[in-house]
Amino acid sequence: MTPCESASIWRPIESAPRLWLFLDYDGTLADFAPTPDHIQPDATLIALVTRLVQTPDLRISIISGRRLSHIQQLLPIDGLMIAGTYGIEMRAWNGEAITLVDLSTVRPLLRSIKQEWQGLIAGQHGFYLEDKDWSLAIHAKDAAPSVAEQVIREGRRLANEAVTSQPREQFRILGGNRFLEIGPSAAHKGRTIDFLFARYPMPDALPIYIGDDDKDEEAFEIVKAHGGMALAVMPRPRPTIANCRLESPAATRRWLLELIARRNAE
């Protein structure tokens, strides 16, 4: 797969009059935390993103599965658009607060599922139940593989059973490597990108999205449909629609530093 440092990748970026950069956080800008609720700001990363915000003709948006308040603590930077819970809750560059879903319409079901999932993982080693208000997630990366598979399968069954009683397509269930999440259908990075394009148009900008997992692939599709570029962060090649590959969050940071240098040299 094409490395993101190649000349064929840099060429359209350097020729674009303006850039709109969309960045995932965990697995893209930073290594994964011990738990999703672990918040440890990284001064080096804060300095890097601050430099991006200050770079001429560059608009920066963070699109994360973490809750908004967590990203705000991790990146306390003015002039940054932050979308949390895949875009359900946002804070724009001007401080405008945007919420795509009324919490009262989804919380009753999530509260019910939370009780069932808590019972499912009670006494089990290596599981973590994350409550993001608008969504719930079971993380099982530290559990034994066979136990994780069994719990995730049963958790999905319980969630599917609960969702059938709700209005059509109000909720979506997300999977992943030892991971299960349920939240509103609007919790979708691709739909968030579409929303931002419509609400804050930047017609002369080249959109670039950098992310590491299947939720980011949904955003890759939308960004590429708008003539943009997708950069996938992954230690080993895997199927992706991205234009190129970065091997790690450290490689992402190096690439962003190079981007700053090239934009400032123009």
Encode pLDDT of 138-154 as tens digits: 999 999 999 999 999 99
Give the N- to C-terminal CA distance of the chain in Å, as an integer: 29
Q: Which helix (H) or strand (E) holds 160?
A: helix 145-163
Question: CB-based burial of residue 10 (10 Å sphere; 0-12 exposed, 13-18 middle, 19+ buried)?
Answer: middle
Q: For 210-218, what is the mean pLDDT?
A: 95
Q: For 18-28, what is the mean pLDDT?
A: 97
Chosen CATH of 7-100+187-265 out of 3.40.190.10, 3.40.50.720, 3.40.50.1000, 3.30.960.10: 3.40.50.1000
Please determine whether the domains at 7-100+187-265 and 103-184 fall in the same fold group of CATH.
Answer: no
Write down the pLDDT at residue 259.
Answer: 98
Separation of alpha carbons 116 and 94, rounded Å: 40
Write down the pLDDT at residue 168.
Answer: 64
Per DSSP bridges, beta strands 97-99 and 89-91 are: antiparallel
Q: Is 194 helix (H, G, I), strand (E, B) or coil?
A: helix
User: What confidence tens digit (pLDDT) does each residue in 105-148 have?
Assistant: 999 999 999 999 999 999 999 999 999 999 999 999 999 999 99
Q: How many residues does the chain have?
A: 266
* 176 — pLDDT class (breaks 50, 70, 90): confident
Separation of alpha carbons 124 and 262, rounded Å: 50
User: What confidence tens digit (pLDDT) does each residue in 30-87 have?
Assistant: 998 888 788 999 999 999 999 999 999 999 999 999 999 999 999 999 999 999 999 9
Domain locations along the chain: 7-100+187-265, 103-184
Give the predicted TM-score (pTM) of the model.
0.94
Write down the pLDDT at residue 18.
Answer: 98
φ, ψ (nearest 5 deg) of residue 155: -60, -40
- Alpha helices (runs of H) in 1-144, residue ranges in sequence order: 7-15, 43-54, 68-74, 103-121
Write down the pLDDT at residue 226.
Answer: 96
Write down the pLDDT at residue 85.
Answer: 96
Q: Is 188 helix (H, G, I), strand (E, B) or coil?
A: coil
Architecture of domain 103-184: 2-Layer Sandwich (3.30)
| Exposure class string for 180-189: b at 16+ Cβ within 10 A, else e | bbbbbebbbb
Q: 202 near 59, Cβ under 8 Å?
A: yes
User: What confidence tens digit (pLDDT) does each residue in 183-210 have?
Assistant: 999 999 999 999 999 999 999 999 999 9
